[in-house]
Amino acid sequence: MLPAILAAGLAVGGVYALIGVTYNIMFAASRVMSFTAGQLGMLGGVFGALFINHMGLPMPVGFAATLVACGVIGIATEIIAVRPVLKALDQHLYVLSTLGFALMIQTFTAIEWSTEPQPFPRLFSIGDGGPLDEKFWLPLVACVATLVGLELLYRHTLVGRAFLAIAEDNFAARAIGLPERNLRIASFALAGAVGGLAGFAGGELLLAFFANGPMLNFLGFVPVALGGLGNNRGAVIGGLALGVFQQAANFLVGGVFASVAVFAVFIIVLLAAPQGLFGAAAARRV
């Protein structure tokens, strides 16, 4: 039983971690918490099933098309729900704008796709349903690949360093001539691709279901809060820990009590460390 709990917990935790990274990428570029992150994860599963199961595309082509489609949705998020807010005096309007856009995505998906869970394609046919089945290790592979890829991008490329510059100080980056708007659009496209990867890698577990969006929105935000806002490594650790704890709670108490246990631990951790377990306390300017 323990191997099954660990396998399922780490798998769903990998999906939550990738959604947390999606939140971080969008926040770093705009200082906006975009609540479309979970919808991007949902679309990763829906687009994957659409391109491979319904349109008959080969898996590599369907995978690439899924990332591109989710990247386009990420760009649309920046243009429709984020950019107008950045021009407003009250930038906290992003709560309404991004939630509204997320609701539009979810409603359109339910109308055009289905309101019932749809099967996700078997990608490699590796494993027999046990703890080593592909549906358990694919999210972990995607999570590790994303973390390594982002580290290489940010530390070893000029574009990555430009991303870090606008994340550190938008005004200073603009003052030295960096194209802030273009970099923000690219960041949201990258976030869309990472969110799509989360849904695609976890599709065999979560299926292609429009209602995955709100669930991933919340459970993907928990790793961000636990790991510290902007800390991708912390988000990954927090996501994996959340997944294992959630599966253990489902096994031990089940039902609604498992959700209560998750919320209770989440609140306790935030009361003890408001900046997250791996986040630095915000510096106060005087």
In the predicted model, is pLDDT for residue 284 greater than 50? no
Q: Looking at the DSSP assignment, which residues form a beta bridge with residue 202?
A: none
In the predicted model, is pLDDT for residue 137 greater than 90? yes
The 10s digit of each residue's pLDDT in 197-245 is: 999 999 999 999 999 999 999 899 989 988 888 889 999 999 999 999 9
Q: What is the DSSP string of 113-163?
A: T-SS-BPPPPSS--S-SSTTSHHHHHHHHHHHHHHHHHHHHHHH-HHHHHH
Task: Give CA–CA dist 233/194, Å, rounded.
Answer: 15
pLDDT over 90 percentage in the chain = 57
Task: Give CA–CA dist 266/222, Å, rounded.
Answer: 7
Rounded to two decimals, the pTM is 0.92
Phi, psi of 208 (to 5 degrees): -95, 95
Please report, for the chain, the start and end positions of each structural domain, with discontinuous segments joined by +: 2-272
Task: Give CA–CA dist 274/267, Å, rounded.
Answer: 9
Task: Give CA–CA dist 218/220, Å, rounded.
Answer: 5
Task: Give CA–CA dist 191/200, Å, rounded.
Answer: 14
pLDDT (0 to 100) of residue 89: 56
The 10s digit of each residue's pLDDT in 34-78 is: 999 999 999 999 999 999 999 999 999 999 999 999 999 999 999
Identify the weakest region by mean pLDDT among 57-66, 171-180, 181-190, 237-246: 171-180
Phi, psi of 122 (to 5 degrees): -75, 120
Mean pLDDT confidence for 266-286: 66
Q: Which option is the CATH number for 2-272: 3.30.70, 2.40.350, 1.10.3470, 1.10.287? A: 1.10.3470
In the predicted model, is pLDDT for residue 286 greater than 50? no
Q: With 0-12 CB in 10 A as exposed, 13-18 as middle and 19+ as buried, what is 282?
A: exposed
